[in-house]
Amino acid sequence: MSRIAYIDGVYQPLNMPGILPEDRGYQFADGVYEVCAVRSGRLLDEARHLDRLEYSLAALDMPMPMSRAALQQVMRETLRRNRIQSGILYMQVSRGVAPREHMYDASLKPVLVMTARPISAERRAQIMKKGISVISVPDQRWARCDIKSISLLPNVLARQSARNANVQEAWQIDGQGMVTEGAATNAWILDAKGVLRTRPADNDILNGIVRQVLLDCVADLKLKFEEKPFSLDDALAAKECFSTASTMSVFPVISIDGHKIGDGKPGTVAKQLSDAYDTVEKKLPKN
């Protein structure tokens, strides 16, 4: 079956041209995006994703492309047309189409693009069982990483460095030697003292949706927790490390830069948090 995309009001085959050359998203990366996980045909954390979309748009002085209710209808129709049961829904909003100038007219009409694709449910189970390896790279991103901007070139280069090193993710290191986040994930450790740590959600990181859900779960699990930056050295000495993102929820990290973390296997706290996330999601109402 041909995949179907929603492009500025039209559902059409994914391979059919649909983006105009003077779309500011295409020319300036002037736009934002969201990625929602889909399990058993359900959109996970839908309200949180839409809240963050509105936050990112407001930070860039961009309006919503349509009402929230209308956007939710398009999301469900895109899933239906692509027959997605397990996978992701991607939505992108650019500022609009206009002659190429750095300045923009506040009256521009935003352009919404939406796609969906399947991801095997077995893949998530394999990641939880085997874990992933990461490398460290310098953080070269801009100063507003809290905005989910489509300007992702530093993330692309970091992820490609990981691929070239035959690992699955890159953790980015700031000028003080502290871990900010992964190229496409938030970073966590269970430090040498047994304290769960992740960086505070400031302008240096994206406040991940799974991150938000897990912060709500930490107290119930009675884990020692600090929302506190940690260094690469802290991570290398940690009992456990893991990443989080909507695509797979929890990614246990078994090595960094070739250095084994703990016993080199996915840890029990990562498994606890993964199970806690699944429990929260099962309680959510169906789409």
Whether 147 contacts 112, CB under 8 Å: no
Cα distances from 45 to residues 104, 224, 252, 281, in angstroms, run 32, 25, 21, 8
Distance, in Å, from the CA atom of 230 to the CA atom of 244, rounded to the nearest integer, reads 16
State the catalytic residue, choosing from 109, 129, 130, 148.
148
239 is catalytic: no
Whether 189 contacts 254, CB under 8 Å: no
Report the sign of the C-alpha dihedral through residues 47, 53, 56, 62, in that order.
negative
To which residue do tokens 């992964």 refer? 182
Q: Kindly give, in sequence order, each residue whose CB lies less than 8 Å from that of residue 235, ignoring residues fewer than 6 positions away.
A: 171, 179, 187, 189, 241, 256, 261
Q: Kindly give, in sequence order, each residue whose CB lies less than 8 Å from that of residue 128, ignoring residues fewer than 6 positions away.
A: 250, 252, 266, 270, 271, 274
Distance, in Å, from the CA atom of 175 to the CA atom of 154, rounded to the nearest integer, reads 15
Q: Which pairing describes strands 132-138 and 249-256: parallel, antiparallel, or unpaired?
A: parallel
- Known catalytic residues are 148
